[in-house]
Structure 1
């Protein structure tokens, strides 16, 4: 064979093998809702909220009954899932960016996901994936923290933590620059219509453009976070509810519809058999702000009772994971990065300080252990640790409390006085973990700790 023909043959063979390899790697679609209540989905038992599209996904998924986030508020929770590490390790403690900060530490545009931390999008790009973020970023407003500089090829959304669902203009005034809708880097232009629908349409367009390449979609809805805004059409679909609860139900209808559009388009494109899909929420519902329900859990967003840190979680991967099944052992959103990167063909053993694990071997029965024997949470003086079925919650204004989560998911029976030895054991484990962490790079004004305690006490369950 002549040399030019040999070169052409080898090039063609390489292209074929690369194409086959690319087809073997799943597309990855990660859908994240914002501030939804634990009980506010049909697949979670709600009789009030209509979520037929997500209920359908649940029937085709593994549903996790003990899925946790690494923080009880939006920004830090996202920092954890993006890096696969406890965000306290790099100083991103449970305080959002930006906010009403104390005078010590970073503030304003200096706050953001530290630049020495790689994201799941960085790792997936290394595996040849096209990557895109649609929706809420909340990892720093400054240009240097921008999603397109943190592994995402495409971005359509906003840099901040919340914004109006309606386009800004003469009647809907923009008050914060980070709320501007942005396409790519620096191209600010408001949408038309309702933002939840727009984000789904943008995600679909990206999938259509990249249907022949492995892709990663991070669809980060701001729904159902405040402001409480729904369309009149969706409000008209809600019966028997009033006030914020009615608006929340209408916002959930819109988000469910948007999820359905994305999921249906995956099937229409013929990609459903090779797409790994995850749906979850970023923290517990803030019941005082949006009237979300976290039943049967105590607590809300911003505290370490189960209602602040346990979230709905679905994972679908046809041919790899058995559909319509339940997984009961504790997992964490820290597990998303190693699960996704491993599925993409990457080697997570090379990533230093990773706290998450690849969930697939546990779900396939290849690993009969538990993904996590121990999980941690921390915000300044407050903290929590779950060790098997025991959970210790540490407070700045009262003695620590101890619960057996398996027997008491609502955390109404404090066992600290009955098991002082277990309190000491878990307190020490929590402290030993804290000794490995970085000091917080920024902190909220102290008065917010008092507000967090009041919110927690208001939404506790009782015997």
Structure 2
């Protein structure tokens, strides 16, 4: 009887072990077939070299340094425009501004009262609705992810109405001009006042057994530069001026929030199931003696300080980490890359490439960008306020000022391998390069007011 009981116990234990192993195998197979969670981190107004891993000697960004080391990282990344609204619109559509129609932050109109007042906000929105409707005619990343049952969350900067207008499942931005809804409203508290909305959302997605997409676009390090006191004191001892110190402190504050998010993924044991993507919407160079003001050749400009950004793609076990300091990549590559990671069919209408496809990435000859005035002069023809078309064929960078809007501005050509801060215009002595790259730019896009389509 004893031997029979022992045999029965061993048999049940063996069956239990087999069942447990089968369950684990089934769970691993289910996770392998499920598309990744996606965390999209978007910095707001930060120069490409204001990180530890890009060589800044004072600003400490340990969490983003770690992310860069664990990612496929392009230090030579670019956005499509040096201004947040059109740049963000490109990130979620995968299109250039002249394609999605969002070329400025606000429509230009006459107003007798104070700019940004409730009355101005109402008038602005009435005119900007035309831009929003045009934008919504293009498939958004959120809509593409709906095909795979993603739950999506909008936080931080968002210009295109409410989060519902962006086809997010959940969100913080209401977009109501009567309540200050211009570029993020309640969403702008994320990061500055904690990350609980994101944590709660991830818990909800887990309870519903749905993959998630988080749009984390905090108002950081964007002005107003109001860092925590300990960070401000730290950089006051390092920076040449208080204005620069506060900006540097904001960069580290933003880094801390990124670290909190990435650590949360680790704590929830979902890092290996999550694709983390990083980009900045546009650059910033702090004006030394004017708090909260940007200097020339940064935000809104076609120079590296306006359009260059690191780009990172991290997915443990799926994307091999690499610090790429030569290959060019663009924010228009984010949507095609996410589609590929999710095994969604590519969209041939998108101008970007999947950066995980090394052959496609290296076969691309050039990247392009556009710079516009802050305000859209004509909502019926949003490209009318164009300032520059930009052609990037490393090491060459060509700036073509719009001949209608900026007839007195010179064509500029820079060799970025020798002149990364664009101090020497080589357009006259290297005219053959100007001619060659201008043809690439013209083949890409000629604005209607210059005879294009």
TM tier, smaller: 0.7 to 0.9
Q: Which has the higher contact order (CA 8 A, sep 6+)?
A: 1
Q: Secondary structure of the equivalent of 1:384?
A: strand
Unaligned 5+ runs, structure 2: 1-25, 112-123, 373-385
Counterpart of 1:323 (choices 303, 321, 324) is: 321
Deviations 1:292-330 (A, max 9, x none): 999xxx921111112211112222111122235335200
Residues 96 and 332 in structure 2, CA contact (< 8 A), matched pair in contact too: yes
Deviations 1:258-306 (A, max 9, x none): 1111111101111111211112211111433767999xxx921111112
Give me the whole-angstrom Cα distance separating, in 2, the residues matched to 1:244 and 1:197: 19
User: TM-score with structure 1 length normalisation?
Assistant: 0.75
Residues 280 and 311 in structure 1, CA contact (< 8 A), matched pair in contact too: yes
The answer for the alignment partner of 1:205 in structure 2 is: 200
Give me the whole-angstrom Cα distance separating, in 2, the residues matched to 1:382 and 1:230: 34
Is the aligned partner of 1:52 residue 2:44? no
Give me the whole-angstrom Cα distance separating, in 2, the residues matched to 1:418 and 1:180: 46
1:92 CA displacement = 2.1
Greater Rg by CA: 2
Give runs of aligned pairs for residues 235-314 of structure 1, distance below 5 A. 235-238=232-235, 239-241=237-239, 242-288=241-287, 299-314=297-312
Counterpart of 1:86 (choices 59, 81, 96) is: 96
1:375 CA displacement = 1.7
Give me the whole-angstrom Cα distance separating, in 1, the residues matched to 2:292 and 2:225: 10
Q: Secondary structure of the equivalent of 1:196?
A: coil
Give me the whole-angstrom Cα distance separating, in 2, the residues matched to 1:400 and 1:312: 26
Cα 1:252–1:176 change in 2 (3 A) is same
Deviations 1:199-241 (A, max 9, x none): 5222122112223421111101111111222233442443323
Give me the whole-angstrom Cα distance separating, in 2, the residues matched to 1:74 and 1:179: 9
Give me the whole-angstrom Cα distance separating, in 2, the residues matched to 1:302 and 1:179: 17
Counterpart of 2:52 (choices 30, 39, 42) is: 42
Cα 1:309–1:181 change in 2 (3 A) is closer
Give me the whole-angstrom Cα distance separating, in 1, the residues matched to 2:78 and 2:395: 14
Give runs of aligned pairs for residues 416-455 of structure 1, distance below 5 A. 416-435=427-446
1:81 CA displacement = 1.2
1:108 CA displacement = 4.0
How many residues matched? 387
Deviations 1:125-160 (A, max 9, x none): 112211111111023x4xxxx222322101124649
The answer for the alignment partner of 2:22 in structure 1 is: none
Is the aligned partner of 1:354 residue 2:350? yes
Unaligned 5+ runs, structure 1: 1-15, 162-173, 184-190, 441-463
Is the aligned partner of 1:29 residue 2:39? yes
Give me the whole-angstrom Cα distance separating, in 2, the residues matched to 1:305 and 1:51: 24
The answer for the alignment partner of 2:368 in structure 1 is: 376
Counterpart of 1:398 (choices 409, 415, 426) is: 409
Q: Secondary structure of the equivalent of 1:37?
A: coil
Give me the whole-angstrom Cα distance separating, in 1, the residues matched to 2:27 and 2:232: 52
Deviations 1:64-119 (A, max 9, x none): 121000001101111111111112123222x21x254589x993444336221111
Out of 423-432 and 266-275, give the one that drifted further: 423-432
Cα 1:317–1:426 change in 2 (3 A) is same
The answer for the alignment partner of 1:336 in structure 2 is: 334
Cα 1:346–1:279 change in 2 (3 A) is same
Cα 1:151–1:17 change in 2 (3 A) is farther
Residues 155 and 182 in structure 1, CA contact (< 8 A), matched pair in contact too: no
Residues 391 and 403 in structure 1, CA contact (< 8 A), matched pair in contact too: yes
